[in-house]
Amino acid sequence: MSESILIKGASIVGGDVKDVLIVDGVIAEISTSITSPEAVVISAKDLVLLPGFVDLHTHLREPGRENSETIATGSLAAARGGYVAVSAMANTLPVADTAAIVEQVSSIGKSVGLVDVFPIGAVTKGLAGEELADLASMAHSKARVRVFSDDGNCVSDPLLMRRALEYVKQFDGVIAQHAQDPRLTEGAQMNEGVIASTLGLKGWPAVAEESIIARDILLANTVGSKLHICHVTTKGGVEIIRWAKAQGMKVTAEVTPHHLLLTDVTAESYDPIFKVNPPLRTADDVEALRAALADGTIDIIGTDHAPHPVESKECEWQSAAFGMVGLETAFSILYSTLIKSGRISWARAAEVMSSAPAAIANYENHGRPISVGEPANLTLVNPAGVMVVDRAALASKSKNTPFHGMEFAGTVVATIFNGAITHKVGL
């Protein structure tokens, strides 16, 4: 399906106000005033046009957990959140550890057609942390997997991690590590600290995350491989990554919107809606993460969108599932916490939401500059917009948002995927 879209008067990545004409999925013209009688016109006065968002950390739950989310519902949630590409984590049932599964996920994603669904392959068979999965078969499959992760589980065996890092070099792959020492976090429920101690919930020490980050950075540099650290949550983790980058070591890192905003104080409610892995940390950690995203220590926003059905959250904290949905609220949280105050520029926002994740994962056609001849994967946002989060209104099949009732500045008003409008509201 091809159509012409004319975006009138948008500020391009927060800069010059221009008209943008899209024809056949490609940016055909950018100038101060374009007229095109056959084009669908989007009036973008006071709106900002960004490269379409790319999420490197999405749980779509299909196959196997379709009661939580499907590729279709997750794709719609992504489009509403301004995303044009998502990366489907491997912890499905069965696990995405073979070419057949990743091809299935990729193919369902294509048939839904709202975003590019790039499967992430498991590092180890069944996420069991014992044997390597068929990494090259997944890389050479139609799904062309380049990012591998046992997310949810840490690849804790140092030898196995070393081998995985080495092995994926043959197809320029990257290992995305969920940094969590399993032994230091047995039965852990929330951030270790005075709040956990007072609540009688088993603590999750920062060192369990930081020791793996440090180890893997050293391992990756020993073998010259690409390492991505998923959802960094601690000040200490930030310091280690900052140090490594200063040494010229190769590593990329991600932070979730919820870790940029919420702290372990939320657990005082004993409401498992705030239970997440890795856990919400302290206000000091939140500040360190914001600073790290601003100064480039942390490269990208990854949502860690993790849908769970009601019954997995409507129970005792220690029995509840870890995770929260986040695709539809990510931009508004980033805008409210960092863009609005000017702490990060629109250009930096475009990097962390689009070009940097696309570059880490080698997603061609994504995170491209907004210029003539580039694929039309674009997101239009309204800085003056207000989002009051209503869980019932989420497109995601699961409603486990910790932000219900909260008000944020900045909204996604349109998403254009391969030249087609996949989301548009109030325009």
Partner 1 sequence: MRHLLSINDIDKDFAITILDTAHEMARVSEGAVKKLPTLRGKTVVNLFAEDSTRTRISFEAAAKRLSADVINFTAKGSSISKGESLKDTAQTLQALGADAVVIRHPASGAAHQLARGKWISGTVINAGDGTHEHPSQALLDAFTIRKHLRGGKGDLSGVEVAIVGDILHSRVARSNVLLLTKLGAKVTLVAPPTLIPPQAQAWPVTISYDFNSVLPHMDAIIMLRIQQERMSDLYFPSEREYSSLFGIDTERLALTKPHSILMHPGPMNRGLEISAEAADSPQSVVVEQVANGVSIRMAILYLFIAGSQESSNE
304 is catalytic: yes
Q: Is 238 exposed, middle or buried (0-12, 13-18, 19+ CB in 10 A)?
A: buried
Question: Tokens 């299935």 label which residue?
Answer: 104
- Distance of CA 50 to CAs 10, 56, 89, 236, 327, Å? 10, 17, 25, 32, 17
- Give yes or no for residue 315 binding partner 1 (CB under 8 A): yes
Angle at alpha carbon of residue 391, lines to 90 and 417, rounded to 5°: 55
54 to 113, contacts with partner 1 by CB under 8 A? none
Residue type (1 letter), 220: A
Interface residue with partner 1 among 129, 205, 309, 383 (CB under 8 A) is 205
Interface residue with partner 1 among 67, 317, 409, 420 (CB under 8 A) is 317
Q: Is 296 helix (H, G, I), strand (E, B) or coil?
A: coil
Name which of 201 and 389 has its Cβ closer to partner 1.
201
Name which of 197 and 371 has its Cβ closer to partner 1.
197
Contact (CB, 8 A) for 119 and 145: yes
What is the smallest separation between the CB atom of 414 and partner 1, expressed in angstroms?
A: 39
Interface residue with partner 1 among 24, 311, 364, 407 (CB under 8 A) is 311
Name which of 55 and 192 has its Cβ closer to partner 1.
192
| CA–CA separation, 253 and 298 (whole Å) | 5
What is the smallest separation between the CB atom of 196 and partner 1, expressed in angstroms?
A: 7
What is the smallest separation between the CB atom of 279 and partner 1, expressed in angstroms?
A: 13
What is the smallest separation between the CB atom of 320 and partner 1, expressed in angstroms?
A: 10
Q: How many residues bind partner 1 (CB under 8 A)?
A: 21
Helices and strands (H, E) in the chain, number of each type: 11, 18
Does 279 sit behind a cis peptide bond, omega within 30 degrees of 0 on the bond before it?
Answer: no
- Give yes or no for residue 199 binding partner 1 (CB under 8 A): yes
Name which of 203 and 385 has its Cβ closer to partner 1.
203
Name which of 81 and 203 has its Cβ closer to partner 1.
203
Interface residue with partner 1 among 24, 46, 314, 407 (CB under 8 A) is 314
Hey, which residues does 378 pair with through a beta bridge?
51, 416
Name which of 43 and 198 has its Cβ closer to partner 1.
198
- Give yes or no for residue 318 binding partner 1 (CB under 8 A): yes
What is the smallest separation between the CB atom of 232 and partner 1, expressed in angstroms?
A: 21
Name which of 189 and 303 has its Cβ closer to partner 1.
189
Tokens of 379: 């997101």
Stretch of 126-134, 265-273, 363-371, 384-392 lying at the interface with partner 1 (CB under 8 A)? 265-273
- Give yes or no for residue 319 binding partner 1 (CB under 8 A): yes
159 to 198, contacts with partner 1 by CB under 8 A? 192-194, 196-198
Q: Is 103 helix (H, G, I), strand (E, B) or coil?
A: helix
Tell me which of 284, 285, 304, 390 is the catalytic residue: 304
Beta strands (DSSP E) in 81-202 are 83-88, 116-119, 147-148, 174-177, 190-191
Question: Tokens 């997750």 label which residue?
Answer: 74
7 to 36, contacts with partner 1 by CB under 8 A? none
Hey, which residues does 423 pair with through a beta bridge?
415
Tokens of 271: 């409401």
Name which of 274 and 408 has its Cβ closer to partner 1.
274
- Closest to 114 in 3D by CA, of 79, 81, 88, 158: 79
Interface residue with partner 1 among 82, 203, 307, 385 (CB under 8 A) is 203
How many other C-beta atoms can be found within 10 angstroms of the C-beta atom of residue 336? Answer: 21
| CA–CA separation, 50 and 415 (whole Å) | 10
Q: Torsions phi, psi of 218, nearest 5?
A: -65, -40
What is the smallest separation between the CB atom of 405 and partner 1, expressed in angstroms?
A: 15
What is the smallest separation between the CB atom of 200 and partner 1, expressed in angstroms?
A: 3
Beta strands (DSSP E) in 62-169 are 83-88, 116-119, 147-148
What is the smallest separation between the CB atom of 202 and partner 1, expressed in angstroms?
A: 8
Site residues for partner 1 per CB under 8 A: 192-194, 196-201, 203, 205, 269-271, 311, 314-319
Residues annotated catalytic, as ranges: 304
